[in-house]
Amino acid sequence: MALQFQEAGAPCGLIEIDGCVAVPSIPLHDTTWYGMFYLLREIGTLNSSIGEFVDFVTGAGSPANQLKFLTSFKPSDPQVSLSSWETAVYATLDRAASLKRIGIEPSGTSDTFSGPTVLIVPRDRLGKALSAASASQCDGDLLNLLIDVRHSEALLTKESRRQLAGRISKALDFILDRIG
């Protein structure tokens, strides 16, 4: 969208929250685990971050042990049978793997953005990767604002949302100052 405004000659800036302008050169996590992570978060049986979840799953070793681990997140509701839970797990993993096989992954753009850009990224390895990937796609002023949460956790707690709101305010000041 920012590139479209830029092409139309409209002054604009870009704020990226826990993301980047271009695809990072390192994979953040296998897309299969994102599908499972968000299923477990949605039903309320997982309270960890995506990074912790991926570490646990991959640390389980074999696919059989990984499935056993995932089964441990079955909701305690007696109406959810083990077989229906396993079906939900298999369907989620299969859907994620299918999307991966046909190549539905984030894709970058070859165009560069020349307006002011603010990246609000975690203060960790993934934040550095997101910043590096974005720097290659931005010709204008680029400001990195760091947050003290892990990747994908910026909206999970009241404190992280408060911190993010402060960074967004700084980002808006930066952009408005640059575009007049």
Q: Give the tens place of pLDDT for each residue, 146-170.
A: 999 876 677 777 888 899 999 999 9
Please tell me the distance from the alpha carbon of residue 165 to that of residue 145, in angstroms, as a whole number. 12
- Cβ neighbourhood burial of 138 (10 Å; 0-12, 13-18, 19+): buried
Amino acid 69: pLDDT: 85
Average pLDDT over residues 129-137: 80
Please tell me the distance from the alpha carbon of residue 144 to that of residue 175, in angstroms, as a whole number. 12
Amino acid 23: pLDDT: 52
For residues 33 and 50, the answer to whether their CB atoms sit within 8 Å is yes
**Spatial CA neighbour of 75 closest among 38, 40, 50:** 40
pTM value is 0.56
